[in-house]
Amino acid sequence: MRFYHAVVGALLGALCQSSLAVSTDGLQDLVKRRLPDHVDSFAFSLNASFGTQDGDYIRKNDNFEVSSAPNGTILIHGNSLSALATGLRRYLTEIAHVDIYWFVGSLLDKAPNPLPKLDTPLRGSSIVPWRYHLNTVTFGYTAAFWTWEDWELELDWAAIHGINLALAWVGYEHTLREAFKGVGLTDDLILPFFSGPAFQPWNRFGNIQGSWGGSDLPLDWINKQFELQKKIVARMVELGITPVLPAFPGFVPEGISQVLPEANVTTGATWGGFPNNYTQVNFLDPFDPLFSELQKGVINEQINAFGNVTNIYTLDQYNEILPASGDTGYLHNVSYNTWQGLKAADPSAIWLMQGWLFLTNDFWTDSRISAYLGGVEDNNDMLILDLFSETRPYWQQTKSYYGKPWIWCQMNDFGGSMSLYGQVMNITINATLAVAQSESLVGFGSSMESEQGNEIKWDLLFDQAWSADPIDPVEYFSNWTYSRYTWGSYGDIPQELFTAWEILAKTAYNNTNSSTGVTPKAILELAPSIKGLTDLAGFYPNPTTVNYDPAEIVNVWNLMVKGANGNTWLWEHPSFQYDIIDVTRQVLANAFIDYYNNLVSSYTAGSHEISEKGENILDLLTDLDTVLSKNKAFSLKDRISSARSWAEDVDKDFYEYNIRNQVTLWGPDGEISDYASKSWAGLVGSYYHSRWSIFIEYLAKTDFAQYNDTTLSSQLRVFENQWQTETSLKASTSEANSTLESILHQLKKSWPSIFESS
| Reported confidence tier of residue 731, pLDDT bands at 50, 70, 90 | low
List pLDDT tens digits, range 31-52.
999 999 999 999 999 999 888 7
Model confidence pLDDT, tens digit, residues 323-336:
999 999 999 999 99
Find the mean pLDDT for residues 438-467. Answer: 97
Rounded CA gap, 686 and 729, in Å?
Answer: 7
Burial of 614 (0-12, 13-18, 19+ CB in 10 A): buried
C-alpha span between 146 and 154 (Å, rounded): 10
pLDDT over 90 (residue 666) = yes
d(CA 415, CA 448): 9
The pLDDT value recorded for residue 490 is 76
Tell me the C-alpha distance between 498 and 479, whole Å.
9
pLDDT tens digits, residue range 191-207? 999 999 999 999 999 99
Q: How confident is the model at residue 758 (pLDDT cuts 50, 70, 90)?
A: low
SS3 assignment, position 647: coil
Question: Helix, strand or coil for residue 340?
Answer: helix
Angle between helix 550-566 and 740-750 (nearest 10): 130
pLDDT (0 to 100) of residue 542: 79
Check pLDDT > 60 for residue 607. yes
Q: How would you class 114 by CB atoms within 10 Å of its CB: exposed for 0-12, middle for 13-18, buried for 19 or more?
A: exposed
Q: What's the distance, Cα to Cα, between the start and end of the chain in Å?
A: 53
DSSP strand pairing (251-252 vs 282-284) = antiparallel
Kindly provide the b/e burial profile for residues 145-167, where b requires at least 16 CB atoms within 10 angstroms of the residue's own CB: bbeeeebbbbbbbbbbbbbbbbb
**749 has a pLDDT exceeding 70:** yes
Does the pLDDT value for residue 281 go beyond 80? yes
Distance between CA atoms of 273 and 591, rounded to whole angstroms?
A: 33
CA 57, chain centre distance (Å): 31
Q: Which helix (H) or strand (E) holds 693?
A: helix 689-701
Instruction: Give residue 15's pLDDT.
Output: 47
Average pLDDT over residues 576-605: 97
User: Domains in the chain, start-ordered, CATH in brackets?
Assistant: 2-125 (3.30.379.10), 130-485 (3.20.20.80), 512-547+573-755 (1.20.120.670)
Tell which residue, 219, 109, 238, 127, has the closest CA to residue 174.
Answer: 219
User: Which residues lie below 8 Å from residue 646, measured CB to CB, with a gap of 6+?
Assistant: 145, 197, 221, 224, 655
Whether the Cβ atoms of residue 407 and residue 445 lie closer than 8 Å to each other: yes
pLDDT band per the 50, 70, 90 thresholds, residue 650: confident
Confidence of residue 512 (pLDDT cuts 50, 70, 90): confident
pLDDT in tens, 464-511: 999 999 999 999 999 999 999 998 767 799 999 999 999 999 999 999
pLDDT of the residue at 2: 39
pLDDT of residue 392 exceeding 60, the answer is yes
In which region does residue 721 sit, left (phi positive, over 0), alpha (psi from -120 to 50) or beta (all else)? Answer: alpha
The whole-number average pLDDT for the span 61-75 is 97
CB 315 within 8 A of CB 249: yes
- With 0-12 / 13-18 / 19 or more C-beta atoms within 10 angstroms meaning exposed / middle / buried, residue 509 is buried
CA gap 16, 130 in Å, rounded: 12
* Amino acid letter, residue 415: G
Helix %, strand %, coil % for the chain, to 5? 50, 10, 40
Q: Is 66 helix (H, G, I), strand (E, B) or coil?
A: strand
Closest CA to 460 of 434, 479, 443, 441: 479
Q: What is the mean pLDDT of residues 400-419?
A: 95
What percentage of the chain carries pLDDT values higher than 90? Answer: 89
Distance CA 90, CA 593 (A): 41
CA 11 – CA 401 distance, rounded (Å): 17
Q: Assess whether pLDDT exceeds 70 at residue 59.
A: no
What pLDDT is attached to residue 332?
Answer: 98
CA gap 538, 388 in Å, rounded: 13
Q: Give the pLDDT mean for 545-555.
A: 96
Residue 608's pLDDT is what? 81
Q: What mean pLDDT value characterizes the chain?
A: 94
pLDDT of residue 17: 43
Report which secondary-structure segment, H or E, holds 200.
helix 200-204
The yes-or-no verdict on residue 53 having pLDDT over 80 is no
Instruction: Report pLDDT digits (tens) over 351-389.
Output: 999 999 999 889 999 999 999 999 999 999 999 999 999
Q: In what order do the strands lie in the sheet with 42-46?
A: 42-46, 74-78, 63-68, 122-125
Rounded Cα–Cα distance for residues 527 and 595 (Å): 16
In tens, the pLDDT along 118-171 reads 999 999 999 999 999 999 999 999 999 999 999 999 999 999 999 999 999 999
Count of alpha carbons within 13 angstroms of residue 526, beta-carbon side: 22
Give 737 or 311, the one with higher predicted confidence. Answer: 311
The pLDDT, as a whole number, for residue 692 is 98
What torsion, rounded to 10 degrees, do the Cα atoms 437, 441, 445, 447 define?
-90
Q: What percentage of the chain reaches a pLDDT higher than 70?
A: 95
Report the pLDDT averaged over residues 572-593.
98
Calculate the alpha carbon distances from 486 to 90, 112, 161 in Å: 15, 10, 19
Bridge partners, 244 (sequence order): 167
3-state SS assignment for residue 350 = strand
